[in-house]
Structure 1
Amino acid sequence: FMGVITLVESSAVGAIGALVCAALNKKLNWNIIDESMEDCLHTTTMVMWILSAAFFFSAVFDAIGAVKGVEALLNLAGGNKWITLILMQISFIFLGMVLDDTAMLVIVAPVYIPIAVKLGFDIRWFGVLYVLNCQMAFITPPFGYNLFLMKGIAPKEITTEIIYKSVTPFVLLQLLALALVMIFPQIAMYIPSLRFGV
């Protein structure tokens, strides 16, 4: 957040910090390193397969005319800017269940951003709404990345069904946060307006 290192670099710094802490506590040995590397490899491989599947799925999703379907959905608003905005968020929620955030952005951004600007919405605020939807997408079945990560590190007795059910209150909280930011844009824009004058 201070601009010293990137997000990816911070993960490496965190790993080094964990090694240093283990060494200071005299718990660092080859067995621990070997076990940690094996667990990391399993999780990373799982994520790579998920990303590969997401790439192919998004390509198929786009090829079958997803953009036209999105445009048809927005036509239901009848020109009302707020209904249009709500329909956009609903489409983000459903797309987030089956697509990763990048694929979702590539599919709908060329359609949604010009519409949002034309309707007079602050594009920065609209971006915050998209980020909130992405956060929700990471924990919504059946394709939430975080759900698969949780399954990868959870004990064997924790089933996928249990994980799916456990995220319900968090999804509801995300929906509440999304609604509040839609109704009160200054929740998201107040601090940036102080810092950057937006």
Structure 2
Amino acid sequence: MWIILAALCFGAVFDGIGAVKAIESLFIERWNLSPWGVLIMMQISYIFMGMFLDDTAMLVIVAPLYVPLIIALGFDPIWYGVLYTITCQIAYMTPPFGYNLFLMRAMAPKEISLVDIYRSIIPFVIVMCIGLALVMIFPEIATWLPEYINKR
């Protein structure tokens, strides 16, 4: 509850000072990115932040900036939420501070080192990246169930 309240306050402040417009201007006007380029940059930033932060911290910091931008670019917010969730899971498996890596280390036998875990996670990260790409290319994968439920 407090985290959500903090995120709403943070978002209101950022919106009030024009940070969303500044981010939009940076991505679209200065870097000449297409809407898909902006989306890809957002996913890359989530992966980078996820190496060091947990999902709640990322959500509080970045959602007030990115969600209005996603809506302004014409993307579905539900679809974007699914992309965010997948990207967070990829980031949790990414060194140097991927939370899932340390969880696996705590559960693994003592003879398995953290380096072994880093190496073993590569196929999973590749599969998750392919899944992320598929959901990006085919948004219906993420939106068909909410649309089906809303029609009932």
Give TM-score scaled by structure 1 length.
0.61
- Tell me whether 1:190 sits opposite 2:148 in the alignment: no
Residue 79 of structure 1 and its aligned partner are, at CA, apart by 5.0
Task: Provide Cα deviations, 1:49-79, integer angstroms capped at 9, x if missing partner.
Answer: xxxxxxxxxxxxxxxxxx8xx9497355425
Correspondences of 1:99-138 after superposition (within 5 Å): 99-138=53-92
- Tell me whether 1:170 sits opposite 2:124 in the alignment: yes
Residue 155 of structure 1 and its aligned partner are, at CA, apart by 1.1
Q: Distance in 2 between matches of 1:86 and 1:73?
A: 14
Candidates 83, 105, 112, aligned match of 1:158: 112
Q: Which has the larger radius of gyration?
A: 1
Amino acid at match of 1:74: F
Residue 176 of structure 1 and its aligned partner are, at CA, apart by 0.5
Q: How many residues were matched structurally? A: 131
Amino acid at match of 1:143: F
Correspondences of 1:31-180 after superposition (within 5 Å): 71=23, 74=27, 77-180=31-134
Relative contact order, higher structure (CA 8 A, sep 6+)? 2
Quote the RMSD (CA, aligned, Å).
2.3
Identity of aligned residues (%): 55
1:96–1:187 Cα change, 3 Å: same
Instruction: Find the residue that maps to 1:98 and give its secondary structure.
Output: coil
Residue 135 of structure 1 and its aligned partner are, at CA, apart by 1.2
